[in-house]
Amino acid sequence: MNKIEEYKSEKPGLEVMHDLPRYAEEGWEAITDGDKERLKWLGVFFRRQTPGKFMMRVRIPNGMSNSEQLRVIAELGQDCGKGFVDITTRQQVQLRWFRIDQVRQIWDRLESVGLVSLQTGMDNIRNVVGCPLSGLGANELLDASAMVREYNDMFVGNPEYTNLPRKFNVTITGCMDNCTHGSTQDISLTPAVCPDEGEPVLGFPVLGFNVAVGGKQGSGGFRPATPLNVFAAPSIAAEVCNQITLIFRDHGPREARNKCRLAFLVDEWGADRFREELERRMGCILPPAGRDMTPEDGSTDHMGISAQKQAGLNAAGLVVPAGRISCGQLLEVARLADTYGDGQLRLTPGQNLIIPNVPDARLEGLKAEPLLTELRHDAPGIMRGLVSCTGIDYCHFAQIETKELAVKTAAKLHKTLGDTGPLTMHWSGCSNACGNHTVADIGIQGKRARVDGEVIDAVDVFLGDKFAGMAEREPLTNVPCDVLPEVLTRILGRTPAAVA
Ligand code: SF4
């Protein structure tokens, strides 16, 4: 049994809630090793990099938020934090630098606007990701946000779901622009039309989802989700996710932590056995996969100004460099959402923000706001596609600093190359791949490398499909960080596909 399974068998993760008042009184030094891990069940993270200063991950299903919520988060960042917050690739927010005795008051303020941090770490179902333009996007097959909420409500706060073998990532999306990287998720529900072909049967055709399972990026590297040849109608989509989660809970491997993701169970069982078990638990035969409505390649980030499906309304996607935003900027974003939109806000898997529901007549006013020179709707391609994990400042797994280096590298590339056109550059500080570097045009993974007898900050560079046919398509290994901009400039400067 691995250490985390031992901790869970001694005391379930959520039970640490009862110890919190004592720890608030006695201070962080009194927290046991087991409870430091269990606190992650509450979304409270002890950081070895900053002992005594904690991080909290706030769950925002489908990235759907509003000015009231983000105002509270910004105020918390000012009152208890470090003056900034990070937007993550799971469309949620991370607060940093608060003390253990401040957790209760932070929760109270979050709960007052309908937010919780529960189960955002460790062996739990992480924030469920969906298209940030759900219900609004001109190119969505169906609005899946209700199914995200239905599934979310099944497990948040429910101890039945808090002892999974490992973390569990889910996306449910009706967007036909592949904006949530479905192939990387443990469960991926992506838009489809059933039946795929042939004569419609009673009650069909239906718009819904094809189901794939076992995608991952860490734990040994990228493995794309395996299609189950199952179509899930919207009415059963949340229950399908629920039953797959329970299959993982009951049958997932629990030995070595790096072999516990759902992918390993799918590899062991194969798609057919997995589907049979799913049908047994659902109590019905599920229809075969429908017509896949996602593009074969490419994806969209929903940045910039786009016309919504609702006539006369627009969504303004604002680029937040590497996902880090000051609390002052966040308060201003909330004001702009109230002034120019209807107060709604969306967080994207690209760590950016969207102000939706801006009428045509207010668009020019929004574009003229000073904040939009910092969080640009018309950012150059290399900045628009920039994603970065936390890095060494706050993550003890990290091999290098990431966020600042990512922004500086992108700025240098822009200066030398001009606008590259759409280009994604994702940074992860280690092989855990929180920066989703396996699904980027340029994927950067930090490492320490020995070069000329000296151990230095370095990266491996992975090049995506845009670079097919180039000699450098193989990963470039051990690239010293201080020459990375020059190396990337050489590659991009010779790549017409990447330079529009
Ligand atoms: Fe930390 Fe590695 Fe994840 Fe970055 S990718 S946040 S360094 S665990």
The answer on pLDDT for 252 being more than 70 is yes
The whole-chain average pLDDT of the chain stands at: 95
**Same structural domain, 345 and 388:** no
Question: Domain count of the chain?
Answer: 4
DSSP state of 298: -
Question: Among residues 379, 409, 442, which one ends one of the domains?
Answer: 379
Which helix (H) or strand (E) segment is 82 a member of? none
The Å distance, Cα 387 to ligand 1 centre, comes to: 12
12 belongs to a structural domain? yes
Write out the residue range of the structural domain in which residue 436 sits.
384-499
pLDDT class for 451, splitting at 50, 70, 90? confident
Which listed residue (126, 166, 254, 447) is catalytic?
166
**Same structural domain, 399 and 417:** yes
The CATH number of the domain holding residue 341 is 3.30.70.3340
Q: Going by C-beta distance under 8 Å and a sequence separation of 6 or more, which residues neighbour residue 243?
A: 278, 281, 282
**Same structural domain, 188 and 282:** yes
**Same structural domain, 314 and 388:** no
- Residues 344-387 pLDDT 10s: 999 999 999 999 999 999 999 999 999 999 999 999 999 999 99
Our answer on whether the CB atom of 395 is closer than 6 Å to any ligand 1 atom is yes
pLDDT class for 408, splitting at 50, 70, 90? very high
Helix/strand/coil for 130: coil
CA 100-69-153 angle, to 5 degrees, is 85
**Same structural domain, 367 and 473:** no
d(CA 188, CA 211): 6
d(CA 96, CA 86): 9
The CATH number of the domain holding residue 35 is 3.90.480.20
123 belongs to a structural domain? no
DSSP E strands in 69-175: the ranges are 84-87, 93-98, 170-172
121 belongs to a structural domain? no
- Residues 170-203 pLDDT 10s: 999 999 999 999 999 999 999 999 987 766 566 6
Which listed residue (429, 443, 446, 464) is catalytic?
429
466 belongs to a structural domain? yes
Question: Among residues 321, 351, 379, which one ends one of the domains?
Answer: 379
pTM: 0.95
**Same structural domain, 374 and 400:** no
pLDDT number for residue 104: 97
The CATH number of the domain holding residue 283 is 3.30.413.10
**Same structural domain, 151 and 233:** yes
**Same structural domain, 274 and 309:** no
**Same structural domain, 7 and 107:** yes
- Residues 15-67 pLDDT 10s: 999 999 999 999 999 999 999 999 999 999 999 999 999 999 999 999 999 99
**Same structural domain, 207 and 329:** no
57 catalytically annotated: yes
**Same structural domain, 197 and 217:** yes
Our answer on whether the CB atom of 393 is closer than 6 Å to any ligand 1 atom is no
pLDDT class for 499, splitting at 50, 70, 90? very low
